[in-house]
Amino acid sequence: MKKINSNLYIIILSFFAFFSCEDMMDYHKDYTKGGEIVYAPKVDSVIFSSGKRRIQFQYWLYDSPSVRSINVYWNNGKDSLEIPIERATIKESHILCDSGKVMIDNLQEGSYSFHVKTIDSSDNYSLKVEGFANSYGANFENGLSNRRVKSVSQYAINENATIDWYAASEEMIGVEVKYTKKDNQEAIVSLSASSTSMACPDAKTDSPFEYRTFFLPEPTAIDTFATDWSFNKTKFPFDRSNWEVIGVSDEQVSDGGGVKTIIDGIIHAQGIPSNFWHSRWSPVAPLPHWAVIDMKSPKKIAMIETFRRWSNNSTRSVEYYVGNEYIPGDMNVDFNKWTKITEGIFDSNASNNRLVLEVSDGLNVAGRYLLIYLRDSNNAQNTQISEIFVCGRSNE
């Protein structure tokens, strides 16, 4: 009896299994109508690199002899590019590899989303591979601005000029400077974004220079952008070889060499025992201390670089004035005849003996005589100035 029941149970299970399989086959047929789906091999990897009104597409396709083309789609499939595949000639680890670079040109500025499919010799499509990149244009270019010049120096006629720069922004990659040499020939020098000081060999004194800044919008971008050439407002320093100091409030010639040292081209530094203008201390001369320099012709000034005595912070603040009326040796400063052009305060740290002062762009004044005025001190009545360099305006 038990054996009959067991056989009956097996017959019933087989019955239901048969009809269940029929149902599953019917379900599968709904998805295989017209034949089984066959996909072409997809690309193994792609790179889209941003550029200037263009994007570069790079692909790798391994061991796929049946693939006849790679198709790239963007703008939601409205635009496309078909790339015919030539049979691989490169072997990587004994596997045939098709690879290539294709430029997608004439793209409007913006961000782009791509998807890539291959097509084989039987017109089968692969699964898609996605990528993203940017096309840069006028909007990006209009937002670019030149790297800022910090100071311009030329400490002697026979020395190279030096341009110091403020730190570069993240996208800046370099700067080019175009200037005139002493032989009146044009020269171009370059500076990387990581550097802050540039030498201009044999630069002609009192001459303007142009510069432009280069940008890379992304680390992997294929194109660089540059600002237009533009003149820096500050020229290389004036030639001071015929300048004279023609007036001074007081000086201690025995300590530093006297006031004439402030335009002799020698900056007081470690190892140079005597080269600065020291206010008189025997007997002590009261503040303020001042000196007048004859620049021999009226000049529009853009920047003044001042050095005080090495490792000494007695000199605190500096004021500069220009004028066109001064009688050599006159001991009176009539401020009605002078126009203040700039002022500043030295760092309290004695090791910082350099002060660079700019003259406002809106101050359009020229003067033959330059007055340096020392109103106060960090050390009772004493002040010391080592050297003064003056730069003119490019539009002078």
Digit-coded pLDDT (tens) for 257-304: 999 999 998 898 877 878 999 999 999 999 999 999 999 999 999 999
Q: What is the rounded CA–CA span in Å between residue 66 and residue 64?
A: 6
Domain count, the chain: 3
Please tell me whether residues 63 and 177 are part of one structural domain. Answer: no
Q: How far is CA 172 from CA 189, 190, 197, in A?
A: 16, 13, 15
Q: Is the pLDDT of residue 91 over 80?
A: no
- CATH number at 342 reads 2.60.120.260
- Domain membership of residue 95 (yes or no) is yes
- Domain membership of residue 13 (yes or no) is no
Please tell me whether residues 254 and 222 are part of one structural domain. Answer: no
Instruction: Tell me what pLDDT residue 270 has.
Output: 78
- Domain membership of residue 49 (yes or no) is yes
Q: Mean of the pLDDT values across residues 222-236?
A: 96
Q: Is the pLDDT of residue 21 over 60?
A: no
Please tell me whether residues 256 and 213 are part of one structural domain. Answer: no
Instruction: Tell me what pLDDT residue 25 has.
Output: 44
Burial class (CB in 10 A: 0-12, 13-18, 19+), 282: exposed
- CATH number at 208 reads 2.60.40
- Domain membership of residue 239 (yes or no) is no
Angle at 124 between CA 119 and CA 128, to 5 degrees: 60
Q: Mean of the pLDDT values across residues 20-35?
A: 49
Instruction: Tell me what pLDDT residue 251 has.
Output: 98
Q: Using omega within 30 degrees of 0 as the cis cutoff, is the peptide bond preceding 217 cis?
A: no
Q: Mean of the pLDDT values across residues 228-255?
A: 96
Q: Is the pLDDT of residue 80 over 90?
A: yes
Radius of gyration of the chain (CA): 38
- CATH number at 98 reads 2.60.40.650
Nearest to 238 by CA among 187, 165, 185, 297: 297
* Residue finishing a domain among 87, 108, 140: 140
Please tell me whether residues 307 and 355 are part of one structural domain. Answer: yes
Please tell me whether residues 376 and 330 are part of one structural domain. Answer: yes
Please tell me whether residues 254 and 388 are part of one structural domain. Answer: yes
Please tell me whether residues 103 and 202 are part of one structural domain. Answer: no
Please tell me whether residues 309 and 367 are part of one structural domain. Answer: yes
- Rounded to whole angstroms, the maximal C-alpha distance in the chain is 142
Please tell me whether residues 254 and 220 are part of one structural domain. Answer: no
- Domain membership of residue 167 (yes or no) is yes
Q: What is the rounded CA–CA span in Å between residue 232 and residue 203?
A: 15
* Residue finishing a domain among 231, 262, 285: 231
Positive or negative, the CA dihedral 267, 269, 275, 276 is positive
Q: Where in the sequence is the domain holding 85, given as residue range(s)?
A: 45-140
- Domain membership of residue 215 (yes or no) is yes
Q: Is the pLDDT of residue 252 over 70?
A: yes
Q: How far is CA 141 from CA 40, 55, 109, 227, in A?
A: 42, 17, 11, 8
Segment (H or E) for 234: strand 234-237
Please tell me whether residues 206 and 275 are part of one structural domain. Answer: no
Instruction: Tell me what pLDDT residue 394 has.
Output: 84
b/e for 34-55, b at 16 or more Cβ within 10 A? eeeeeebbbbeebebbbbbebb
Q: Is the pLDDT of residue 349 over 50?
A: yes
Please tell me whether residues 226 and 249 are part of one structural domain. Answer: no
- Domain membership of residue 222 (yes or no) is yes
Instruction: Tell me what pLDDT residue 27 has.
Output: 42
* Residue finishing a domain among 204, 231, 258: 231
Please tell me whether residues 248 and 389 are part of one structural domain. Answer: yes
Q: What percent of the chain has pLDDT over 70?
A: 87
Q: What is the rounded CA–CA span in Å between residue 93 and residue 101?
A: 21
Q: Is the pLDDT of residue 173 over 60?
A: yes
Q: For every residue of 93-121, which 3-state class applies, written as one string?
A: CCEEEEEEEEEECCCCCEEEEEEEEEEEC
Q: What is the rounded CA–CA span in Å between residue 242 and residue 268?
A: 21
- Domain membership of residue 305 (yes or no) is yes
CB 263 within 8 A of CB 331: no
